[in-house]
Amino acid sequence: MSTHSFTEENYLKLIYALVSRGADEVSTNALAEVTATRAASVTDMLKRLADKQLVHYRKYQGVRLTDEGERLALTIIRRHRLWEVFLVDKLGFGWDQVHEMAEELEHIRSDELVERLDSFLGNPQFDPHGDPIPTPAGHMPAAPSQKMADLLPNESACLLGVLDHSAAFLQHLDRSGLVLGCTVNVSEISPFDRSMRVTIPPGQTLFVSYDVARNLLVGPTKA
């Protein structure tokens, strides 16, 4: 069985993430920008991944994952998100602290360890940020797609996930009291800057900027 470097695994995960946002292929320049790496270095990596039959790479066109590349990317994402659940639920870390730790732990390649971890955690479906956890068979469950910024006045929704995983953003949500699972009721939307006045349990009023609201994912409230 061929082995892959941590950098190769990170590229596969990144390509998967960029394609999942709607692109058919990912450009070399897009990868260079996200990774803060020279385009020539990105091209070298893509050629290496193509040699391993993990990506389809076309010069000047872009790159997409092969079936095997997608399978491996989902495996890495599964490990990452399970480790995040473990770090938050079992070790008491904050959701703003765990991303970098999970970035290291995701490269542990023991399938038995990952499946025992999954069982130990009770087979969670979502990580602490509301992102779905791929199944052992490599299926990615559907993620919530409606943004809080798209809600209308007098609408209510349940906060289900975040698009911005930065520590600063998550700490801002903690200070505001916006936690996953809470019900958000929109009272008013400013026509000037699209900021929102909302209420959350137990009746707290918040003013939420458009930049924050567009990075929050919501769904129907629970009956």
Distances 168 to 23, 96, 97, 127, 174 between C-alpha atoms, Å: 28, 8, 10, 19, 10
pLDDT of residue 2: 58
Structure tokens at 113: 């360890």
pLDDT of 223 higher than 80? no
Helix, strand, or coil (residue 132): strand
CB 171 within 8 A of CB 187: no
The whole-number average pLDDT for the span 167-195 is: 96
CATH class of 6-65: mainly alpha
Q: Which sign, positive or negative, has the C-alpha torsion 77, 105, 124, 116?
A: positive
Distances 40 to 5, 20, 43, 46, 74 between C-alpha atoms, Å: 19, 24, 5, 10, 26
Q: Is the bond preceding residue 144 a cis peptide, omega within 30 degrees? A: no
Q: Is the pTM of this model over 0.85?
A: yes
Confidence of residue 4 (pLDDT cuts 50, 70, 90): confident
Confidence of residue 213 (pLDDT cuts 50, 70, 90): very high
For the chain, the domains span 6-65, 146-219
- CA gap 144, 22 in Å, rounded: 15
pLDDT of residue 1: 45
pLDDT of 114 higher than 60? yes
Model confidence over 10-56: pLDDT tens digits? 999 999 999 987 777 899 999 999 899 998 999 999 999 999 999 99
CB 54 within 8 A of CB 68: yes
- When the pLDDT of each residue in the chain is averaged and rounded to a whole number, the result is 94
Model confidence over 137-175: pLDDT tens digits? 999 998 888 999 999 999 999 999 999 999 999 999 999
CB 84 within 8 A of CB 128: yes
pLDDT of 93 higher than 70? yes
- CA gap 156, 55 in Å, rounded: 42
Q: What backbone phi and psi angles, to 5 degrees, belong to 161?
A: -170, 175
pLDDT of 217 higher than 90? yes
CATH architecture of 146-219: Roll (2.30)
pLDDT of 104 higher than 80? yes
